[in-house]
A and B are shown apart, each in its own frame.
Chain A
Amino acid sequence: MPGLTDPVDRSLVDALHGDFPLIERPFAAVGERLDLDERDVIARIRALLDDGTLTRFGPLFDAGRLGGAYTLAAMAVPPEAFDRMAQIVNAFPEVAHNYARDHRLNLWFVLATPAPEDVDAAIVRIEAATGLPVLSFPKEREYFVELKLPA
């Protein structure tokens, strides 16, 4: 299958999906399960982060449960201005994720803010910075969230 070719990296990424131990030497414990030593585990994670296979390693926080808020937002960006507008949007620290999609609404991003009222304020600032309207789609109900795809 496509993706990770190194079988050790593949089992490491699978093993690191969740449940990273809250103990003194967690990398050593992960390594024990995979027959790797602690230094090797750390070096492999560092390499996977450096080459972009992993975007992050650590706790995944839920802004909503931390007293903050999220929304999914979308913009219709003229194609000739796309890269410039994407850069402007990306520069906002509130923008956690940003994707180009093939649709009239071609820029879709997630805003995460420490307080609920900050979401609307961020949208106003993004509209001012880009000169384009932003549609906001806050979640009303969550049916399922679990991104676990085999490596």
Chain B
Amino acid sequence: MSAAGDHDALDRAIVRATQAGLPLVPRPWEAVASAVGASPSLVTERLRAMLSSGAIRRIGAVPNHWRLGWTANGMSVWDVDDAKVDELGQRVGALPGVTHCYRRPRRLPAWRYNLFAMVHGRDRTEVEAQVAAIAGVLGGASRAHEVLYSTRILKKTGLRFA
């Protein structure tokens, strides 16, 4: 097996060993290392490599933002001119209250929106102000929009690979 193939298998093993969370022990990387059968220094080296490749977005805490007081979560969706969506999407994503911003396919006739911008606030008034700021950036390039507020978090485990 190639070195890259070895890394691939080890990386997958590290994903499986940590996707539900790090062991809460004084030496967590050692615990991960013994779970995957590698040395701690190799495990931290692979974690560093996965951080720099973007396979790991970050290592840290995932808060339930509802519990932190961010109880208003609006998924704003916009029908934006295809010729302008990429340039405008960058600008919408850069707005301070926007936490995620993606272009996604329309599903006509059921769904006309191609730009999705997630907005969080401590109440709906804050979300509405953010949505107004997005509308200001998009101007006439947006033909319609809606805000879908979340009413319940039903599951938030993150990815689970077998």
Chain A residues within 8 Å of B, Cβ to Cβ? 1-4, 13, 16-20, 22-28, 38, 42, 45-46, 48-49, 51-63, 65-66, 68, 72, 86, 89-90, 93-103, 105, 107-109, 112-114, 135, 137-149, 151
Judging by beta carbons under 8 Å apart, are A54 and B61 in contact? yes
Query: Closest approach, in angstroms, between the C-beta of A75 and any C-beta of chain B?
Result: 11
Residues on B with C-beta less than 8 A from A109 are 154-155
**Within the complex, which residue of B53, B61, B67, B93 is in contact with A57, where a contact is CB–CB below 8 Å?**
B61
Beyond A137-B104, A140-B105, 8 additional contacts (C-beta under 8 Å) are: A18-B58, A55-B63, A57-B61, A66-B11, A66-B15, A97-B158, A140-B103, A144-B92
Residues on A with C-beta less than 8 A from B15 are 61, 66
Known contacts A141-B102, A142-B102, A135 near B44 by CB under 8 Å: no
Judging by beta carbons under 8 Å apart, are B148 and A93 in contact? no
Q: Which residue on A lies nearest to B160, using beta carbons?
A: A93
Judging by beta carbons under 8 Å apart, are A52 and B64 in contact? yes
Judging by beta carbons under 8 Å apart, are B68 and A99 in contact? no
Known contacts A1-B122, A96-B157, A24 near B62 by CB under 8 Å: no
Interface assignment of B34: CB less than 8 Å from any CB of chain A: no
Query: Closest approach, in angstroms, between the C-beta of B41 and any C-beta of chain A?
Result: 10
Work out how many contacts link A and B, with CB atoms closer than 8 A.
248
Q: Which 7 pairs between the two chains have the least Cβ-Cβ distance?
A: A144-B93, A3-B69, A2-B69, A143-B93, A18-B58, A112-B159, A16-B61
Query: Closest approach, in angstroms, between the C-beta of B71 and any C-beta of chain A?
Result: 8
Judging by beta carbons under 8 Å apart, are B148 and A141 in contact? no
Judging by beta carbons under 8 Å apart, are A144 and B98 in contact? yes
Query: Closest approach, in angstroms, between the C-beta of A45 and any C-beta of chain B?
Result: 6
Interface string of B108-147 (1 = CB under 8 A from A): 0011000010001010000000000000000000000010
Query: Closest approach, in angstroms, between the C-beta of B86 and any C-beta of chain A?
Result: 6
